[in-house]
Amino acid sequence: MAMPKIAFLECSRCGLHLDAVTPQTVCTACSGPLYVRYDIADASARPKREDVEKNPNGARRSGMWRYCMVLPEAEPVTLGEGWTPMLRSRLRPNVWLKDEGGNPTGSFKARGLALAVTMARRYGLKKLAAPTAGNAGGALAAYAAAAGIEAHIFMPKDAPLANRIECRAYGAKLTLVDGFISDCARIVAERKAAEGWFDISTLKEPFRVEGKKTMGYELVEQLGWEYPDAVFYPTGGGVGLIGMWKAFAEMEELGWVHGKRPKMIAVQAAGCAPIARAFENGEQVSQAWQNAHTFAAGLRVPKPYGDALILDIVRKSGGCAPAVTDAGIFASLRDWAEHEGVLMSPEGASATAAYDQLIDSGALRPEERVVIFNTGSGSKYSEEIAAMFAQQTK
Ligand SMILES: Cc1ncc(COP(=O)(O)O)c(C=O)c1O
Ligand SMILES: [Zn+2]
């Protein structure tokens, strides 16, 4: 089964169609994020679920590329991303942990950047730039190195040490910024024209979402082509949540899955919870969060670019947007390490903490089948985790 040609790119806000012949960024009319659309109108040519299950054969079919029939036609820049374990919880019946910590560079960011860098190489782009909370920078640096492309990365200076080191090791040009990811984004926007950089920021080009949508395909396939009742997702920029929702719509159109879509639970840290607050207040977009503070570095996103999309998906799915304190996140991180054998990233632990919170409050029933995303490996956060241990022994 071949990879499909892109039919067009579609604005998620105003529906405008753009072509994908040259690299696109956001909608030319309204600056909305763009979705990749394929031509699957011809039912006889539609990819089938059985094609996915055929033996992977080479890079084009292994890992997340097993879904190559719903990904753009291009030779993958791959480091072995995707097809991560779906671990059944030992203590909580009906809970599965989708463990993204084993991806290249130790986080789910590998999926989006594998595809975005694949397409950048196909378009012949030579210089990529991105603001990042940390893990996306590490992933971009690795895939850019694999593709022979320059990476210019802007990261808050208090990002985890592992993220700073990996960027340097992969040979990226790293700038540490005294501020948040939003300040990093401003610098990229100001300098990109003069420097000749292509801006590969979250939702400012269409392919990171497209790569992350494979998490939606995978979780459904790993549950026997069935939806769970709820998906818990640690939400910073929200790209994974947006990508999974897109995957669900595509799978329904292809006839790969039926039934009620899961409630999407966008989990945030109490110290930076713009989506949780907007959800609570019934607002369509978020307000920038002041003085963001949490040891879950990936959740320090004061104003996500895709906030309207995230809130819309959470509401349409019948989900919610809880916030968890750092103490609650750390307690859950220790709980899952000690009792389940998984050292999660703090972002992942925010999602497991939120699960316990919703069970305790009665908002969710223990019979409901739930997939929780651990978006990264805890071993990338040894300094942050050490600091939390030190606080507890004071
Ligand atoms: C480990 C981890 N989890 C979650 C997130 C948030 O991801 P998203 O931007 O898709 O909401 C990040 C972002 O940096 C991250 O590094
Ligand atoms: Zn538009």
Work out the burial of residue 334: count CB atoms within 10 Å of its CB; fewer than 13 is exposed, 13-18 middle, 19 or more buried: middle
Q: State the closest ligand 1 atom to the C-alpha of 132, by its place in the atom list counted from 1.
A: 14
Q: What is the pLDDT of residues 197-231, one digit of tens each?
A: 999 999 999 999 999 999 999 999 999 999 999 99
Residue from 113, 135, 286 to probe ligand 1 pocket by mutation (most atoms less than 8 Å from CB):
135
- CB count within 10 Å of CB 362 equals 7
Of 234, 244, 154, 166, nearest to 200 by C-alpha is 154
Inter-residue contact 146 to 77 (CB < 8 Å): yes
Ligand 1 site residues, Cβ closer than 6 angstroms: 107, 109, 133-136, 202, 234-240, 298, 345, 347, 375-376
User: What is the residue with the minimal CA distance to atom 6 of ligand 1?
Assistant: 236
Distance 46 CA to ligand 1 centre (A): 32
Proportion of the chain above pLDDT 70, given as a percent? 98
Angle at which helices 307-316 and 239-254 cross, to 10°: 50
User: What is the residue with the minimal CA distance to atom 14 of ligand 1?
Assistant: 298
pLDDT at 377 over 70: yes
Q: What is the pLDDT of residues 230-269, one digit of tens each?
A: 999 999 999 999 999 999 999 999 999 999 999 999 999 9
Instruction: Return the bridge partners of 25, or none.
Output: none
pLDDT value at residue 56: 61
pLDDT value at residue 54: 80
**Range with the poorest average pLDDT among 46-55, 81-90, 370-379:** 46-55
- Mean pLDDT score of the chain, rounded to an integer? 96
pLDDT value at residue 125: 98
- Element housing 276 (H / E): helix 274-280
User: What is the residue with the minimal CA distance to atom 13 of ligand 1?
Assistant: 298
> Given the DSSP bridges, would you call strands 263-269 and 323-324 parallel, antiparallel or unpaired?
parallel
What token pair was written down for 213? 């949508």
Distance 14 CA to ligand 2 centre (A): 4
Distance 350 CA to ligand 1 centre (A): 11
Q: State the closest ligand 1 atom to the C-alpha of 239, by its place in the atom list counted from 1.
A: 10
- Mean pLDDT, to the nearest integer, of 271-292? 98
Place of tokens 């990261």: 155
pLDDT at 273 over 60: yes
How many residues does the structure list for the chain?
Answer: 394
Q: What is the pLDDT of residues 344-368, one digit of tens each?
A: 999 999 999 999 999 999 999 999 9
Q: What is the pLDDT of residues 297-306, one digit of tens each?
A: 999 999 999 9
- Residue 228, C-beta contacts closer than 8 angstroms, at least 6 positions apart: 96, 219, 262, 369, 370, 371
pLDDT value at residue 57: 64
pLDDT at 55 over 80: no
Instruction: Measure the CA–CA gap between 33 and 305, rounded to whole angstroms.
Output: 9
- Mean pLDDT, to the nearest integer, of 64-77? 94
Question: Predicted confidence band at 4 (pLDDT cuts at 50, 70, 90)?
Answer: confident
Q: Is 303 helix (H, G, I), strand (E, B) or coil?
A: coil
**Range with the poorest average pLDDT among 31-35, 145-149, 389-393:** 389-393
Inter-residue contact 12 to 309 (CB < 8 Å): yes
Q: Is the pTM of this model over 0.95?
A: yes
Distance 296 CA to ligand 1 centre (A): 9
Instruction: Measure the CA–CA gap between 268 and 283, rounded to whole angstroms.
Output: 16
- Mean pLDDT, to the nearest integer, of 39-65? 80
- Mean pLDDT, to the nearest integer, of 10-39? 96
Residues with CB under 5 A from ligand 2 (ion): 11, 13-14, 16, 27, 29-30, 32
Residue from 84, 98, 107, 352 to probe ligand 1 pocket by mutation (most atoms less than 8 Å from CB):
107
Distance 335 CA to ligand 1 centre (A): 21
pLDDT value at residue 46: 85
User: What is the residue with the minimal CA distance to atom 12 of ligand 1?
Assistant: 298
Inter-residue contact 176 to 155 (CB < 8 Å): yes
**DSSP for residue 285:** S
pLDDT value at residue 45: 77
Question: Predicted confidence band at 392 (pLDDT cuts at 50, 70, 90)?
Answer: confident
Question: Predicted confidence band at 1 (pLDDT cuts at 50, 70, 90)?
Answer: low
Q: What is the pLDDT of residues 319-333, one digit of tens each?
A: 999 999 999 999 999
What token pair was written down for 242? 């947006």
Q: Which ligand is nearest to the CA of 33?
A: 2
Q: Is 145 helix (H, G, I), strand (E, B) or coil?
A: helix
Q: Which amino acid is at 220?
A: V
> Given the DSSP bridges, would you call strands 34-38 and 150-156 parallel, antiparallel or unpaired?
unpaired
Q: Which ligand is nearest to the CA of 34?
A: 2
**DSSP for residue 260:** P
Inter-residue contact 24 to 9 (CB < 8 Å): yes
Q: Is 96 helix (H, G, I), strand (E, B) or coil?
A: strand
Inter-residue contact 231 to 264 (CB < 8 Å): yes
Q: Which amino acid is at 333?
A: L
Rounded to the nearest 5°, which phi and psi values hold at 332?
-70, -35
Work out the burial of residue 386: count CB atoms within 10 Å of its CB; fewer than 13 is exposed, 13-18 middle, 19 or more buried: exposed
- Mean pLDDT, to the nearest integer, of 287-310? 96
User: What is the residue with the minimal CA distance to atom 16 of ligand 1?
Assistant: 298
Distance 110 CA to ligand 1 centre (A): 11
pLDDT at 124 over 90: yes
Q: Measuring CA to CA, how many Å separate 198 from each of 111, 120, 324, 334, 377?
A: 19, 9, 35, 40, 29
- Mean pLDDT, to the nearest integer, of 62-71? 94
